[in-house]
Structure 1
């Protein structure tokens, strides 16, 4: 009887225990499936010029109670990374300094550990160091506009912290306003033809390692914007041209005017004295005749007087 009374209790305990195992196993199986579906290939790692490695990956769909850790293996040496959960982006970021020469094509292995109360999942992703290098943006951008040829000439230099002295190791991308111009490896200048001299152009450049030198996947940030135009010399005039227009041209026009008026020039400079009218001229002629007659009469009287005087003597 005692055995029969305790039998239902044992069966109930066994049922609860087995149900708990099934329940726990179901969650473990779900977590294991979620972790196995985690795609480590989508991890993004960036190695900047200060030898700091930053890795990001999306953790949406992974268990909320998971704990993460990461380390880097380089030449059999391990270096830990500090990880933090970016909640708003549902992403995990791990970063830290690493000891690697940027001009060496070494293998970097990023090991990620995801821990749960019932299991632990470890994944590893392999990167080539030069393939994840992110360079500093180019600088010293200089641009001029040729008014005669209507060409926009652009030049720039590589930023600080270079990886190689070989200029063909760098691939540039140029952006002029909204136009993106891809360039061949090593080309650090560009000429844009038939530009509008009245328009302003905004220029910026970015760079990455070319395929021949590690095949970088990350472009640098865009350089600060350099603006050129509109051309200030489009309507400028040479000072000598202004002098000719202001001084010589009016004198030339005056000379032409005087030449056209040459026949009238003496009359303008020495105007003729107007002659007397006909009545005045007749009057003057009569007066002249009278004066002539009076003069002859006076001479005749004088002769008579002189004759009389001689007789008296």
Structure 2
């Protein structure tokens, strides 16, 4: 009985060994020798049968991005996978066709990410492999990236903005880490005016017409490569904000003249209201009246005759009455 079970155990052990060898070869030294990038390849355990192939959407479900700080972030999200499916992830870092680092996560959840700090490489290539195992069968899904398809751009450089008359002039340069032609880049320009960012492409300047000179503008910009130049688009960070406001020496001449003339007129009106009586006497003096001694002459309307003074009025004389006592003295009679 034991002799009969030995071949069965031997066959099972050999099967597991071949399975492990097949899966390990997927991340071996030859993993960097890829002919094309940005294409999905599969390695199934059973030829012609790809585990959970319908649940894999490469453009949405897993992605690697290289940020300007040399941080490589690979993420995946397989919400439609069978609940019993198991995942393992392998990230191979290549310098041209040479494998320099291999990061493995043997058991991961259906949604997750892995962060790797990279060194500087002349010809960086990254191969992401996700092994999906279900009911004893497995399939390795591979996707390779070169540096251009990985990198998230820096914000545009040399951003400047100035108000010229009634126009806002904005200019910028390509991100400092790229040397591609300008036709590969598109931009979002935010003027801080509560409007949606302006969508621009293949340009390095923009003019906003008929701006309000009294308004302050907070200008910032970000960029990414167009779909023709990079399949997995990712916006850069926003640039530093440039504050634009109209200075006093750039105000319109008409506004300055209006202010210069308007303030004195307002002050004059205030003075007229406060000192109305005195100002009226100065502007409209009263008609002079002749003295009373000339009134009689003017009433006669005799301009050719001699001038006679008006008769003076004598003051009333006081009458003094003397009263004499005529009654006889009674004392002398006795």
TM-score range, shorter chain: 0.5 to 0.7
Q: How large is the RMSD of aligned CA atoms in angstroms? A: 5.4
Is contact 1:52-1:95 (8 Å) kept?
yes
Among 190, 203, 208, the residue aligned to 2:206: 190
Local SS of the residue matching 2:233:
coil
Q: CA deviation at 1:242?
A: 4.3
Question: Which structure shows the bigger proportion of residues in helix conformation?
Answer: 1
Is contact 1:68-1:115 (8 Å) kept?
no
1:305 — aligned with what? none
Alignment of 1:1-313 (within 5 A): 34=51, 36-37=53-54, 39=56, 41-42=58-59, 43-60=62-79, 61=81, 63=84, 65-78=86-99, 79-81=101-103, 83=105, 90-93=111-114, 95-97=116-118, 99-101=120-122, 108-112=125-129, 114=131, 121-138=139-156, 141-145=159-163, 149=166, 151-158=167-174, 161-164=176-179, 167=182, 170-176=185-191, 177-185=194-202, 187-195=203-211, 203-209=219-225, 217-223=233-239, 237-238=255-256, 241-247=258-264, 250=268, 274=291, 276=293, 277-278=295-296, 281-283=309-311
**So what's the TM-score if we normalise by structure 2?**
0.51
Change in Cα spacing, 1:65 to 1:243, as seen in structure 2 (3 Å) is: closer
Change in Cα spacing, 1:191 to 1:278, as seen in structure 2 (3 Å) is: same
Is contact 1:40-1:123 (8 Å) kept?
no
Where does the alignment leave 5 or more consecutive residues of structure 1 unmatched?
Answer: 1-5, 7-12, 18-27, 255-260, 285-313
In the alignment, the residues of structure 2 paired with residue 209 and residue 136 of structure 1 have an alpha-carbon distance, to the nearest angstrom, of 11
In the alignment, the residues of structure 2 paired with residue 167 and residue 219 of structure 1 have an alpha-carbon distance, to the nearest angstrom, of 16
Is contact 1:173-1:183 (8 Å) kept?
yes
Bigger Rg over Cα: 1
Deviations 1:57-102 (A, max 9, x none): 2244264544332213342211223659775x7234353415434x
Q: CA deviation at 1:48?
A: 2.0
Where does the alignment leave 5 or more consecutive residues of structure 2 unmatched?
Answer: 10-44, 273-280, 298-307, 313-334
1:299 — aligned with what? none
Local SS of the residue matching 1:130:
helix
**So what's the TM-score if we normalise by structure 1?**
0.54
Local SS of the residue matching 2:201:
coil
Is contact 1:40-1:125 (8 Å) kept?
no
In the alignment, the residues of structure 1 paired with residue 283 and residue 143 of structure 2 have an alpha-carbon distance, to the nearest angstrom, of 103
